[in-house]
Amino acid sequence: MSGMNFHKYPKPSFLTIVFIFLFLFSGTAFSQFGQNKVQYKVFDWKYLQTKHFDIYFSQGGKYLAEFTAYEAEKALKNLSDNIDYRISNRIPIIVYNSHNDFQQNNVIDEYMTEGVGGVTELFKNRINVPFEGDYEKFRHVIHHELVHAYMNDMYYGGSIQNIISRNISLQFPLWFSEGMAEVQSNYGLNEQTDMFMRDAAINNYVPDLDYMGGYFAYRGGQSFFSFLADVYGEDKIGILMNNIRAFSDVEQGFAETYKMNLSQLNEKWHSYLKKTYWPDLKIREDVRDFAKQLTDHERDGGSYNVAPAISPDGSLFAYISNRDDLFDVFIAKTRNGEIVKKLIEGNNSSDFEELHILTPGLSWSPNGRQIAISVKSGDHDAIYVIDVNSEDKVELPVSFDAINFLSWSPVGNKIAFVGNTRERSDLFYYDLTKKKLVRLTDDIFSDLNPAWTLDGKSIAFTSDRGAYVNPAEIPTDLKMWEYDYSNSDYYRINIETREITRLSDSRDSKESYAQVSQDGKKVLYVSDKNGINNIYMRETDSAGNRTDRPITNSMNPIDQITMSRDGSKLLFIALNKGGYDIFSMDNPLEKKLEEKELVLTDYKKKKNEYESKFGWTINSPKKDTSALSVDSLIKKDKEVNENLTESDSTKAGSNSVPDTIDTSLNDTLSLSEEQSISGLNESNEDTAKYYGDDVKISFDLPELKLKPDKDSSYDFNENFSLAGNTNPDGSYKINKYKIKFTPDLVYGNASYQSFYGLQGVAQIVLSDMLGDHRIYIQTSLVIDLKNSDYSVSYFYLPKRIDYGFQLYHTARFLTYGYRFQEYLYRYRTIGGNISASYPISRFKRIDGNISIQHISRENLDLAAEPITRKTLLVPSFSLIHDNTIFGYTAPISGTRYYLTFMGSPKLHDEGIGFASILTDFRHYIKLGDDYTFVTRFAGGGSIGPNPQRFFIGGTENWINREYENYNIPISNIEEYAFSFPGFPLRGYNYDRMSGSKYGILNLEMRFPLFKYLILGALPLGFANIEGVTFLDAGTAWSDNEALKFIHKDENGNVTTNDLLLGTGFGARTNFLGFPIMFDIAWRYNLDKFSEPKYYISFGYDF
């Protein structure tokens, strides 16, 4: 998971349009790029308290909070039993009703993309989890994130502040923290990881532990710990965790526990994987042996080619791919996979913010002219209908917390989908003719994967409802935390009668993606019966007898099947050499295998032996009984309570499900109270900052598992004793959330500025539990308060407009030389500002700021020189757009720009009167892996009695800097307050040219230079060194008539006059944790090049 900021740093913002226009608004250096997190909702927060957790939830989220309470306490007991450590601090858990709500949180500042299923941060050790319509997934994420919080408490005392105050140096590699979280939350190995590791082992791309990052850290780490438990015993895992704590060193902890170092264990793990998976080459087929490959992620780039939807006539298919970095929708030919067109560019506009690759929703209209797609669109999920030829689009009038799994009826104008509202995930369809939204199910169970029968009268779907096919028989007070929701089967519902028929009862496997033949007698579906997702066929004969048989024996896990209307062609995705590709199979309904049953995987055999030994019960509450897990890693409980057998069709009562929801009533269309994967990322992003649950590549339904303990009334220590947290009936008491500030961080750091050198800063950060209210106190004390910097800021963030209020004092010391004399001047600024930021969408916002500054200039070496003072009012206003994708050190594709107005009205004789406009436009074109061409234009102009001064030349944060006239280009208060640098213009010194107007053009080609560079003479190494070639051009002027770009010199040669040109090349890398850039540049005047000039600077490229 990529790195995160932990706080909403003060963003330039806007107070009101009126103020801005009254004072000639602007937005100079205040303007900051970056995408936005939009608070579409105003959340009304409450909380409940369990023995060890404070659980926060918003309106409509009480049921999910109670589910979280039960599962969190149960998971904590499980961890305590396994690892033998008792937490010392209460753990807060913040529950969101949907992923859309989760994306609006203020606890973590980075935008939570679809692939992020939960996050735990280390400032307050807060767990953040959204509900996404699937209770097994929700349970897994709660448990996964709790492992991170548990480790934070165990090793770091539960906060970054403890790390700093105790000087804790222990750091866990990503594979350890994520692998431990996965193996604990899945109770050992699971099918998903087993299938992933099989592909990796057979195709030889299992990395060593030292190089395991990104998604592989989750699956590979889980596999490694499962191997340790299987080979060396489950008890060693807890011993390992405690040894690491004792020695405060990961490597030493492994050596003490296993009497081997990590390198030796890594070799044994690799050998174990080969012995486990290589025999499958003899008994199973590679997907390319029985199907035609239509996409190739290795050739085309990206790692996801998913969500195939075949056209009615079978000639075309639509799919989602990240081959161009962003997730886009393509149309291609089923004959050979040739791309016909890119239909949708996703992830870069407010209409198509996300395309739901984990819960795909693509479906063709019956005539093959249109495609329906479910997307995240602003504050809600939406359904768009798009014309394949004209690309015109229409948004349907439906709005839910989440919309997933679209299916367009093959015979009518009905689109079925899964709609999530708070704790419910139900089936709906929208009637395009009647313009009605119709609800099909209305219960607590998770309904997924709808697919129409070809007669358009019924819908097949997947659910965890077990035998509950009659809504009248579902208990009104059913508690999902007392129900075994881990199993799923597929069902059929008649859209007229609401009659639900259970079509499968596979207690040891998961079924999904049913596709029905034209005559309705054959159903293709995906199942992991043998431990690997394969395609099976259920046939029903004239007597009503059903038989199931596999039609594939794949070693590659298969998913997301889609069949043409006549049944002649089947498309599906399969994991293939570390990425997902789309394959086709002709005449799948006629496909036959010699094997009636597929050989079980080693993992499946062990799992079945475990279940056979200890017994199990499907879809019923569990009581307390202990049993060993499949790989002996986790202790789980279960008891046979009752056996629910496959039920015959049961007709629901007529009053159990509302027939329709009138779309004319907009509030009723949204059933919530308020409307509202990148690939295998190799980043080894640190675990000391935060822990995240990245659920990319997770296309599976919940794995069949047994419910652990129901009883969680254990006590760790008396510090967790609570009084009055429950009602007389035993339910949790609900408390109104109250704002309470607690410290996030107290620390000191150093910063480097171009003109003022190294600055030391101490910072205190306070915030409330939800991150909606923040206080920043910053100081840089230098004996005398007149010579120090200090500020206090408050930010109000719970609503769509973010407000900021700040008071500050700064002191800067500049030296000026006049022949044989130098003087030291002190510039003091005492001021305050009010700011506001209004996000129009994720990609665009309006920022504004109004400040009052009192600035003084004092010669500390010549007391006779009078002190000059000015009081200034400075309003500003900015429009900012950013839809870029970031690479290692800079954006690699997309566009970002700002347009800023600022000024200072001359309110008195000593005032400064000017108005300025500034802009910065940047466009990034990805030419290939790690190759990017960048175009940038920046410019500005100022008017008024005292126009703003712009100076150009040099580069930002230039360490070995040189000034054109040997002095910093600041000589008075006006220049100190408002001089604006134009960077970069390499080949020149700072302040090479200045004026009231300026323009700079930068062209850069960025490319990989060295993957690794190890120095022989010094024990230093560098990784991911990026190269760059550049051309810079710029000018600054005040008199338009005098501006002259080129002229002829005394020799008659055409050379530059007011135009500055520079060209060169450079390298970028990280050195001791700091981003550093080295450039060599030459000035060019159209006649000749200058001597080279060298630039060493801190920071990142624009």
| Residue 667 binned pLDDT confidence (cut-offs 50, 70, 90) | very low
DSSP collapsed to 3 states, 393-434: EEECCCCECEEEEEEECCCCCEEEEEEEECCEEEEEEEECCC
Q: What is the mean pLDDT of residues 391-399?
A: 93
Asked whether 65 and 479 are in contact (CB, 8 A), the reply is no
SS3 (DSSP) at 453: coil
DSSP H/E element including 377: strand 370-377
Mark whether 423 and 553 lie in a shared domain.
yes
Mark whether 410 and 363 lie in a shared domain.
yes
Asked whether 632 and 230 are in contact (CB, 8 A), the reply is yes
Tens digits of residue pLDDT in 888-897: 888 999 999 9
| Residue 1024 binned pLDDT confidence (cut-offs 50, 70, 90) | confident
C-alpha distances out from residue 1048 to 250, 511, 993, 1053, 1087, Å: 69, 79, 20, 5, 10
Find the helix packing angle between 191-202 and 262-277, rounded to 10°: 90
The pLDDT of residue 615: 52
Q: What are residue 998's DSSP bridge partners?
A: 940, 1036
Asked whether 970 and 980 are in contact (CB, 8 A), the reply is no
| Residue 816 binned pLDDT confidence (cut-offs 50, 70, 90) | confident
DSSP calls for 71-95: HHHHHHHHHHHHH----SS-EEEEE
Domain assignment present for residue 811? The answer is: no
Rounded distance between C-alpha atoms, residue 827 and residue 817, angstroms: 17
Q: What is the mean pLDDT of residues 378-387?
A: 91
| Residue 588 binned pLDDT confidence (cut-offs 50, 70, 90) | very high
The pLDDT of residue 681: 34
Q: What are residue 1047's DSSP bridge partners?
A: 1055
Mark whether 55 and 106 lie in a shared domain.
yes
Q: What is the mean pLDDT of residues 711-722?
A: 55
Q: What are residue 527's DSSP bridge partners?
A: 511, 534
Domain assignment present for residue 670? The answer is: no
More confident residue, 1093 or 683: 1093
The pLDDT of residue 714: 45
Judged against a pLDDT cut of 50, whether residue 680 lies above it is answered with: no
The pLDDT of residue 3: 32
| Residue 800 binned pLDDT confidence (cut-offs 50, 70, 90) | very high
Mark whether 585 and 712 lie in a shared domain.
no
Tens digits of residue pLDDT in 923-974: 999 998 889 999 999 999 999 999 999 999 999 999 999 988 877 888 889 8
Reference 3, options 679, 677, 683, 678; nearest CA is: 683
Mark whether 58 and 92 lie in a shared domain.
yes
Mark whether 533 and 592 lie in a shared domain.
yes
The pLDDT of residue 617: 34
Reference 922, options 939, 908, 936, 943; nearest CA is: 936
More confident residue, 639 or 309: 309
Tens digits of residue pLDDT in 421-459: 899 999 999 999 999 999 999 999 999 999 999 899 999
The DSSP call for residue 652 is P
Mark whether 555 and 526 lie in a shared domain.
yes
DSSP H/E element including 759: strand 757-767
Strand 735-736: give its sheet, edge to edge.
690-694, 116-121, 127-130, 91-96, 53-57, 46-49, 735-736
| Residue 608 binned pLDDT confidence (cut-offs 50, 70, 90) | confident
C-alpha distances out from residue 779 to 589, 752, 757, 793, 852, Å: 73, 16, 17, 12, 20
Judged against a pLDDT cut of 50, whether residue 801 lies above it is answered with: yes
Residue type, 411: V
Q: 802 is written with which tokens?
A: 């973010």
The pLDDT of residue 56: 98
Domain assignment present for residue 1067? The answer is: no
Mark whether 585 and 455 lie in a shared domain.
yes
- What CATH number does residue 380 fall under? 2.120.10.30
Q: What are residue 813's DSSP bridge partners?
A: 826
Task: Say which range, 84-98, 299-313, 1001-1015, has the weakest mean pLDDT.
Answer: 1001-1015
The pLDDT of residue 102: 96
Q: What is the mean pLDDT of residues 99-119?
A: 92
Domain assignment present for residue 425? The answer is: yes
What are the b/e assignments for 931-958, b being 16+ CB within 10 Å?
ebebebbbbbbbebebbbbbbbbbbbbb
Q: Among 569, 596, 623, which residue terminates a domain?
A: 596
Mark whether 272 and 188 lie in a shared domain.
yes
SS3 (DSSP) at 163: helix
Asked whether 295 and 303 are in contact (CB, 8 A), the reply is no
Reference 430, options 450, 445, 448; nearest CA is: 450
Mean pLDDT, the chain, whole residue set:
85
Q: Among 707, 736, 765, which residue terminates a domain?
A: 736
SS3 (DSSP) at 68: helix
Domain assignment present for residue 950? The answer is: no
DSSP β-ladder status, 393-395 and 362-364: unpaired
Asked whether 833 and 852 are in contact (CB, 8 A), the reply is yes
The pLDDT of residue 751: 58
Q: 16 is written with which tokens?
A: 């009101």
| Residue 17 binned pLDDT confidence (cut-offs 50, 70, 90) | very low
- What CATH number does residue 84 fall under? 3.30.2010.30
The pLDDT of residue 753: 54
The pLDDT of residue 819: 62
DSSP calls for 542-568: TT--EEEEES--BSS-EEEEEE-TTSS
The pLDDT of residue 911: 77
Tens digits of residue pLDDT in 120-166: 999 999 999 999 999 999 999 999 999 999 999 999 999 988 888 88
The pLDDT of residue 947: 94
The pLDDT of residue 339: 96
The pLDDT of residue 307: 94
Phi first, then psi, for residue 157 (nearest 5°) are 70, 10
With 0-12 / 13-18 / 19 or more C-beta atoms within 10 angstroms meaning exposed / middle / buried, residue 283 is exposed
Task: Say which range, 334-348, 380-394, 461-475, 700-714, has the weakest mean pLDDT.
Answer: 700-714
Domain assignment present for residue 537? The answer is: yes
Q: Among 698, 715, 736, which residue terminates a domain?
A: 736
Mark whether 430 and 304 lie in a shared domain.
yes
Domain boundaries, position 227: 174-284+599-641
Domains in the chain, number: 3
Q: What is the mean pLDDT of residues 312-339?
A: 93
Asked whether 1026 and 1004 are in contact (CB, 8 A), the reply is no
Q: 550 is written with which tokens?
A: 């596999």
Q: What is the mean pLDDT of residues 409-425?
A: 92
DSSP β-ladder status, 950-952 and 980-982: parallel
Q: What is the mean pLDDT of residues 1029-1055?
A: 92
Judged against a pLDDT cut of 80, whether residue 636 lies above it is answered with: no
Judged against a pLDDT cut of 50, whether residue 568 lies above it is answered with: yes
Task: Say which range, 45-54, 541-550, 608-617, 1002-1011, has the weakest mean pLDDT.
Answer: 608-617
Judged against a pLDDT cut of 90, whether residue 922 lies above it is answered with: yes
Phi first, then psi, for residue 761 (nearest 5°) are -135, 135
DSSP H/E element including 895: strand 891-904
Tens digits of residue pLDDT in 829-870: 999 999 999 999 999 999 999 999 999 999 999 989 999 999
The pLDDT of residue 11: 33
Mark whether 324 and 365 lie in a shared domain.
yes
| Residue 703 binned pLDDT confidence (cut-offs 50, 70, 90) | very low
Judged against a pLDDT cut of 80, whether residue 1014 lies above it is answered with: no
Scanning 278-331, the segments in alpha helix (DSSP H) are 280-283, 287-290, 297-300
* Full-model pTM: 0.85
Scanning 495-633, the segments in alpha helix (DSSP H) are 602-614
With 0-12 / 13-18 / 19 or more C-beta atoms within 10 angstroms meaning exposed / middle / buried, residue 1038 is middle
Tens digits of residue pLDDT in 25-82: 333 333 489 999 999 999 999 999 999 999 999 999 999 999 999 999 999 999 999 9
C-alpha distances out from residue 697 to 67, 193, 213, Å: 26, 11, 15
Domain assignment present for residue 584? The answer is: yes
Domain assignment present for residue 657? The answer is: no
Task: Say which range, 243-252, 586-595, 622-631, 777-786, has the weakest mean pLDDT.
Answer: 622-631
What are the b/e assignments for 1043-1071, b being 16+ CB within 10 Å?
eeeeeeeeeeeeebebbbbbbbebbbbee
Find the helix packing angle between 235-247 and 214-232, rounded to 10°: 120
Q: 100 is written with which tokens?
A: 């859309």
The pLDDT of residue 375: 92
Mark whether 608 and 474 lie in a shared domain.
no
